[in-house]
Every structure is written in C-alpha cells, then in structure tokens.
Chains A and B, each alone.
Chain A
C-alpha cells in the first residue's frame, strides 16, 4: 500500500500550524479569564451543562439554526458548508478506518481516492457505497459554495441587503476555502480519468477529462498538489482570519453554558467572543444607523474587528461611541455575542475627572416608614420631563389604594445608567451607591419605575434585595389579579417597544397584555426583538438632531402604518422623541390606563 507522496506536505504543515496556533491562542485566552469567570468555570465544570452545550454547538456550529430562522437560503448556505464539510471529514475518516483496518496515516482519509484508486471489492466491500456517498456530500458542499459565490454578486435573495467589507486576510482565506472543494472534485476526477474509480459525479467528470485527453499522472499529481496547497493555506490562515470562529464558537457556547459572562473589562472570555464572530454581517442590515443614515462602519462586526486588530485600535473608540446602544444587533447576532458589553468596554473613561466633594447634600434624608405593603416609585429623570406619566402612575396608585413613596418627586439623582453607557464607571457607581442607600433605607418592599433605562439599571446593575418592576409589569399584575378594574375603549393603538425594556430586559408581553385590556392593539411590521429604535436613545453622544430625527421618523412611519388612533409606548424617552414630531398622538401605557379606570 502506497501511503505517502510529497504533495501531502502542505496539508500536513497546515494542520500542524492550525493546531499549534489554536492551542497557543486558546491557552493564552483561558489564562486571562478574570477571577469571577474562573470561579464560575471551576464551580460548574463537573455539572451536566456540557450536554446542552454539545446540543447547542451542534445546532449552531453545524446546522446554523439561528441563521436559518432569519433566512432559509442563508441558513442552507452556512449549513451546507459547515455541516457538509464536517460530514465529508467524518465519512472520509470512517471510510479510511473500514478500508484500512490495520491503521493508516491521518492524511489517508483526505486523499483516499489518490492512494486507493482501484477499489477492490474483496478488501473493502462498501467501496462503491462510500464513493457515491462522498460524492453526494461533495455536491452538498458545492451547492453551498455556489450560493456563497452568488451572494457575493447579489445578496438580496439570501436575506442580506448589505454584506461585510472584509479585511485582506479574510479575503485571502476565503479564496483558499473556495478553492478547496472544486479542487477536490477536480483531483478525484483526474484520478478517476486514469483508474475509473470514484462515485457517480467524479466518474462522470473523469470521463470528460479522459475525453479531452488530459488524463495523465502528471496532471493528476498537479491537481492533488493544488488541493493540498489550498487546504494547507486555509489551515495556516485560519487562526488569523474570521474562520477562527469555526472552533471558537464551540468553546464560547461551552463557556456560556457553564455560566460565564463578559465582564466590564476585556478578558480572555472577550477574546473568545471576538474570535467567535464569523463576520457574517447580519448585524448590519437591522442597525438603524445603516437603515436610516447609511452609516456602515460602526456595526457590531466592525466594532469587534476594530477591537481585535491592534493596528486599527485608534478607530475603536470612535466606532464604539457612534452607536445608539439599541441592542438590535445583539438580538440579530446568530452567535449571541454580547456586543453592547464589549462596546462599553471600549467606552470606559476612567481618566475623566471625578469630583463629588459636595456629596448629595441637596437630597433630603430618607426616613424609614412603616413599610408594610409600601412600594417605592422612581419616576426617573426623563419622566420628570413627561409629567403625564408620573401623574398617571399616581392616579393608578391611588385607585388601587397602593401606599407608595415617590422617591424622586422633588430632589433626585440619576440611576447612573446614562453615565455607565458612556463609560463613566466611577461616577455611575457613586450614583448607584447613593440610590441603593436611599432605597434600602426606606425599607420599601418593592421598587417600581416608569423609565426602562432606570429599570434595566436597577435590575442588572444594582444589587437590590427587593423586587424591581417596570410600571407596565406592575399594571399588568394589578389588572390580572383584579385589583385594578379597567374598561375597554374603542381606541386603536400600536405599541412601540422601547429598546431598553424589550431587547434590554425582555419585557414584551406585559405592555401588550395591558394594552389589550384597555384598547384594540394593532400589529406593526417591526415588533418585539425587531422593533425600531426611536433614535433619541441616550446611547449615542455623537448623532445630531437631524440624524436622530431621521431614525425617529422611520420608527414613526412603522407605527403609523396600520393607522392607529394613538401610538402607545412605555418609555418617557421614546415618548419625548415622538412628541417632538408634529401631529403624532403618543401616550404612555400608564396614561392610557389612568384614563380608563372604571
């Protein structure tokens, strides 16, 4: 049995390089996990969580289920390349094991047809079956490759209006990848032209080569050499290109299932997230900055790229700043990378001067009160500019006999989230400390807030010992439990999902339940995870009013399309955004409910 030829060297060198660089990188990254992340891994490493991790890795890494849900063709393209290639390798390995029961070098599985051109039915009875199966799999992969090439020319049918602008390294690696499968077909066909082996497709192409008259061992050797070089090149480039995501995603899924989260500093886990991005560009289409303003250099994929590539680091900050933080890309990302957290890591400005010598002396001292059944109500800064919301909440509290403490009715401080979003960590922490002191000091049993920004802050950034509710959740609870009797009026409304409440905290159903109880709720084209940002989010300090207005108008048009009587929202910020446009009736859910108490 002949089992070696010079042409396998590029392939073997590629595999070796891939192994060495991957292990080196992964080892370095795992070592730079922070203490909390390490502790989480240590605590959960022996749990059963690896089972869902395996399932998710299979579903997302090979089947690309989330992408398929976005667009069937796009999913097919990714799946045929990933799962198809995976099956080619696995079936090839099985074929080699069955054909050589006494062991073989690992490259034999890849170059099987070259080394085993004469299928001897005595030695290996399943040879024909495997040859045909491998051909079928190769067709599967090639169909995906064809789609990928088609997407390069016209991406619309695959559900993508815009695709990613790749770096040079990524483009070279892609070329290598694209060469692999046609070259494999050509190599096998060139062997088949001489020996008549192979499955239905290679034999057919072999006959064509034979007919042209180029079937000779030199041509065959050249083909196999090129195939090996393509493989070797791709493997060498893999650790330095976007194709690193193939393995990294599996690790990321595993760590995530173990319970590891990104922290507010760049860690090894962040590096895994950076590399798990396949740069598919799905984050670009949904981004309001692209949709309404045509800005296409700051979406998730480019932000990660700027953080990853050290030479582009100077761009990282301006890219990170120019974002509404509406989380649309987080909802769209098929790898579930926490893009907003990474963006915030870049935004950190701890060198900014911080002076709070005066303290918060203007705040009144909180007197603990009889806390039985008493809730604290935090309107939020923005609700102060929309007093319709706070006064409606007071009406509702009074209607159900709820004892409450309106903690920011007079003097008030911010929840801290707007500062945190801009990277002023210390300043935000100081505000959180003071608010926590006041809330705990009041001995209130629950905290209700009208502002989704504050709500996300209290829920995720504070460590309060009492439950936190947004007023839509609270009103929904009151109606459900029969404390608040409302009447249904004939108003037709559309609901605007605030980014911070919907994508930020997953509150989609409660506001809708409340609206259905008092009005007729109409559907719009972009709802829930796909809802459009109002443009006046506090996330982006660089947009001017005109740009914000454009983004707002797109959201408005979407909401006005079903011809509602009013637009309902649950965020003072969004309400202000829509109020600024002329002639749009907009109301907060609390206001609609307060007007319909029976």
Chain B
C-alpha cells in the first residue's frame, strides 16, 4: 500500500547558513562556468570562419551589456576557484570545525569580489 502520510517541510523551513550557501553557489557557478567555457570555445572556433566574427565578438564585449557579462563570468570563475581551494583542504580533512567553516566560507563569499576586480583589471592592462 502506498504511504499517504504527508512529508514534513524541508527546504521551505530550514535555515540557510554560510556553508550551505557556499555549497549551492559552488554548484550554480560550476554550471555557469561549464556554459561559459563552451561559449568561449565557440567564439574561438568562429574566428576560423573569418575576420567578421571577431568584429561581432568585439562589438558585443565592448558594449555595456558585454562588460557586465564579462564581470559576471569572472565573478563566477573567481568564486569557483576560491571555493575549490576550500574543498581541497576539506578533502585533506582540514577545516571541518563549525567556526572554521564559517570563516573560510566568508572568505570565499567576500573574497570572490576583490578577486573579480583584480582579474578584470589585469585583463584590461594586458589587452
């Protein structure tokens, strides 16, 4: 017989805290990065098809929306990188004490923003 009892509320009522927030953001940025890399690959491949394609890409990237898009994917990349470092330490068995997870989580969350700016500025200087 099928169990007709209700399921108690879960994600609707459970409190968020820093490490669960970092964990879900890690997944989301991972998916974003997957598509971003694919997109960059397509852009590079499109250069083979002619100079015109470069112009289009350039036009898009120098527009306001293009710059916003750039910053977005750089943030997603920065976050993923920092969070991945946190994960590497966890894989070695370090940083599981609640206090430390909170601190490292905050470092990842907040640190991803300055890192975004740094990568963006370095990119500007190089180009």
A and B: real partners?
Answer: no
Residues of B participating in the A interface, judged by any CB pair closer than 8 Å: none
